[in-house]
Amino acid sequence: MHRLLTVGIVLLWVSAMTALFVRDVWPAWTAQDAPPMTRDELARFGGDQQLGIFDSAGKRLGTAWSSVSKVGSNTAIHGTVHIEGLSVVPVVLVETSTEFDEKGELDSFNLDVFGVPMTTIKVRGERHGIYFPCEIQMGPLFRQANLDMAASRLIGDSLRPFNYLPLLKVGQSWRMQIVDPLSAVMGGSTRFTSIVARVTGRETIDHDGKPVDCFRVETTPGQAKAWVAPDGRVLVQEVDVPMLGKVKVRDEDYDEQLRNSVRRRYRRMHGEQENQIDAGRPIEQLEKTLVNALSGGSR
């Protein structure tokens, strides 16, 4: 009897370790390269996208926008996320710029959070060899995070982990980083979380009243889900966001006037940061572009 009990315990332990390995370790070991974010692929994106942000009850929490532009020999995705009605601050505006080089490799990432009175919240990162060092500013405090470039092919925020995912195939996986800007607003701290994204299958969803055969992408940890159209456009995302719970982000008609009105409204409330919002990309990028132009080429 004692032997049977011992064997049972050992088998239970082996089963638990195997499940843990399959769930958490194996996906990271087998992760491949991220979807190619080259200029040609981003050009197919069409440039502009708008997404509505809703809670689990269907109440609208805000809106997100994406646009693509050329930056010298690189290509950048510029994002705007507007959240309204949080308990701590009435309006949060998050501006991101994710830049890719000619080969589609992540080159730099910048994030600015506006809405916390008298507080600067920024994340700045730029590739250096096999590392992707980032600096996080929270008011007067600075913290550095030296990310592994192999695990940082893409960077997203917790409200919208994915911007555009071209040329997917079932079984594909990659490692990426997620930063949570709302934690900085609500709790005064933020950090990067390394996740593995995997294309788990195909699924037909209803979009604008029409069935669309999509790739289904899931992440570990975090259990975020995304449904991606064949052209790479992310139509729907479901994420668990700290302090907001389960959030659904879905594609909708692009409204440039709404994007501009959100910025104007913010400027009326926080006029001292108007120039920062209008900058489009941080001053460091402008300086780099000027240096490249004066030297007759890009780095």
pLDDT of residue 293: 41
Where do the DSSP E strands lie in 85-148?
91-100, 106-114, 121-126, 131-138, 141-148
CA 108, 255, 229: angle at the middle one, nearest 5?
A: 65
Tokens of 82: 């507007």
Q: What's the rounded mean pLDDT across residues 140-168?
A: 90
Tokens of 46: 């069409």
How far is 167 from 16, CA to CA, in rounded Å?
Answer: 35
pLDDT at residue 191 in the model: 80
Find how far residue 16's CA is from the centre of its chain. 32
User: Can you state the percent helix, strand and coil of the chain, rounding each to 5?
Assistant: 25, 45, 30
Q: What pLDDT is attached to residue 203?
A: 97
Query: Which residue has better confidence, 289 or 69?
Result: 69
Look at residue 295 and tell me whether its pLDDT is greater than 60. no
What residue segments make up the domains of the chain, in order of their start? 39-270
pLDDT band at 81 (very low <50, low <70, confident <90, very high): very high
Say how far apart CA 173 and CA 229 lie, in whole Å.
17
Share of the chain above pLDDT 90, in %: 42
User: Which pLDDT belongs to residue 3?
Assistant: 60
Section 71-89 average pLDDT: 84
* Overall pTM surpassing 0.85 (yes/no): no
pLDDT tens per residue across span 204-217: 999 999 999 999 99
pLDDT at 116: 78
pLDDT in tens, 226-260: 999 999 999 999 998 877 789 999 999 999 899 88
Q: What is the mean pLDDT of residues 141-170?
A: 90
CA angle 42, 44, 46 (to 5 degrees): 90
Q: Which of 27-41, 82-96, 158-172 has the highest mean pLDDT?
A: 158-172
Q: Considering the chain, what is the average pLDDT of its residues?
A: 80
Q: Please give the pLDDT value at position 284.
A: 43
